[in-house]
Amino acid sequence: MEKSVKKHRKLKIALIVLAVLLVLVAGALTFAGNYLFNFALDPHAGGMLSAYDPDEWDLTESMAWLAGNAEDRWLTSHDGLALHALYLPQESESHKYAVICHGYGGIPQGMGGYASHFYDMGYSILAPAARSHEISQGRYASMGWLERRDIVAWVDTLVEQDPEAEIILFGISMGGATVMMTAGEADLSPNVKCIIEDCGYTSVWDEFAVQLEEMFGLPTFPVLDAASLVCQVRAGFSFKEASALEQLSYNDSRPMLFIHGEEDTFVPYWMLDKVYHSCYCEDKEMLSVPGAAHGEAAGTDPELYWSTVQTFLEKHVS
């Protein structure tokens, strides 16, 4: 009888210790998950995005050109946010429009160099500020996932303005992921004739896994799982759900051009092959730029870059 009591007491102590350990582990994972979420996606929490102050940007000549000549456009998103864009119409009548999407921590003015090339090709320019970027509202960034619905809405404003509009989508880095995710939306207007993405990632999960290892030396499990759960609770989506690969599999008709620098380690070069082969449409092209790091393909070999872009556009936009 005494042995049985001792056994019961030891089991009870063991269960209490286990429960305490589980509580401590859960607390640690909750802290880690919230920390990583704030660090990556909350511009008000002192993380990465808070370092990108739009008032502190030194505008280059091309950025100043876009900022000085464009007009402001506003849109109310499906969830009630006031979203900002710069709009630069062609001086002569044109039905061609380029919607150009900036990267993580960027601003519409930062796309001035790209905008000038598309403008010279005869396109009016719409450069949206992603939610929680520049002066667009938004509590959190969503790395292209919620922004995909914003791009659908921006496209609809152009079609309402000009029913004959021929629209292209272009994005770099997070903007590249945004336009890839937009490609899979069933209600994306048929006025969008083709899409060009430059160094976009396969999914938010994959990109954060790369950065978790690179910046913190941490494995994905269980830290990234915890951060993804926090994101689901606070922002309404999970990292794995925000997948360019999945969205591209729904694009069965709209032509796409995929661009990536071969020396890109921030959004690793191997992602190019993944996104290209995930796109269901037959009319797709790939441009691999030797020697180019992240977001530097256009600057590394501008002749190759812009001749490829122009040839691609001439096939699909009248």
What would the pLDDT profile of 144-183 be if each residue is shown by its tens digit? 999 999 999 999 999 999 999 999 999 999 999 999 999 9
CA neighbours within 13 Å on the CB side: how many for 213? 12
d(CA 136, CA 291): 34
Give the count of beta carbons closer than 10 Å to the beta carbon of residue 312: 21
Copy the structure tokens of residue 13: 């102590």
pLDDT digits 0-9 by tens, 256-280: 999 999 999 999 999 999 999 999 9
Cis bond leading into 222, ω under 30°? yes
Residue 292 CA, chain-centre distance (Å), reads 20
Long-range Cβ contact pairs of 23-26 (< 8 A, separation 24 or more)? none
pLDDT of 19 reads: 40
Which residue's entry shows tokens 């001086």? 91
**pTM: predicted TM-score of the whole model, two decimal places:** 0.92
pLDDT tens-place string over residues 181-229: 999 999 999 999 999 999 999 999 999 999 999 988 888 989 999 999 9
3-class DSSP state of 60:
coil
1-56 pLDDT, tens digit each? 566 655 556 555 544 444 433 333 445 557 678 888 999 999 988 888 887 888 77
Note whether 227 and 208 are within 8 A (CB). Answer: yes
Interatomic CA distance for residues 297 and 77, integer angstroms: 32
Looking only at Cα atoms, what is the longest distance across the chain? 98
